[in-house]
Amino acid sequence: MLCHLVYVSTAVAPMRDQDLAELLVQARANNERRAITGMLLYKDGRFIQILEGHEEQVQASFERIRKDERHTAVDLLWLRYAQYRDFPDWTMGFLNADEVDPETLKGYSPFLERDLRYEEFIQNSTEVHEMLQVFKENPGGLVK
């Protein structure tokens, strides 16, 4: 069954552009093998990622992600069944939101300016999903 999984985490050290590029190459290769699509957002040392695909593959990928030592505080926001993919053509879209002025985006929300704690994400899970969609629809700075 198709599902969407969204999690947040915190980098154990600041991620340089090269670190993020290497992470993206690895994620895309892994996701392509597993027929997983999605998007990864990085801002102020925090990650927000949506993985979508068949539940077994998504769950297995998430378990590998939980064990990745490049980040900590890996918190599942939701796992939902879906009828379709939001990012069907992206093995892993990526945006370093530190390099984007969100106020220039159509559908801008001040969500990313808040203290990005787990509780904030949980209380605003719909807003998180909408935010990811805004970045999808406004590809300035987005690496597909």
Q: What dihedral do alpha carbons 27, 89, 97, 65 form, nearest 10°?
A: -30
pLDDT, one tens digit per residue, over 33-45 is: 999 999 888 888 8
- For the chain, give the percent of residues with pLDDT over 70: 69
Phi, then psi, of 99 in degrees rounded to 5: -105, 10
Please give the tally of structural domains in the chain. Answer: 1
Tell whether 23 is covered by a domain: yes
Cα 41–Cα 47–Cα 51 angle in degrees, nearest 5: 70
Tell whether 144 is covered by a domain: no
pTM over 0.85: no
Task: Report yes or no: 41 and 139 within 8 Å, Cβ to Cβ.
Answer: no
pLDDT, one tens digit per residue, over 68-118 is: 999 998 988 889 999 999 889 888 888 777 776 656 655 455 555 555 555
CATH of the domain at 10: 3.30.70.100
Tell whether 143 is covered by a domain: no
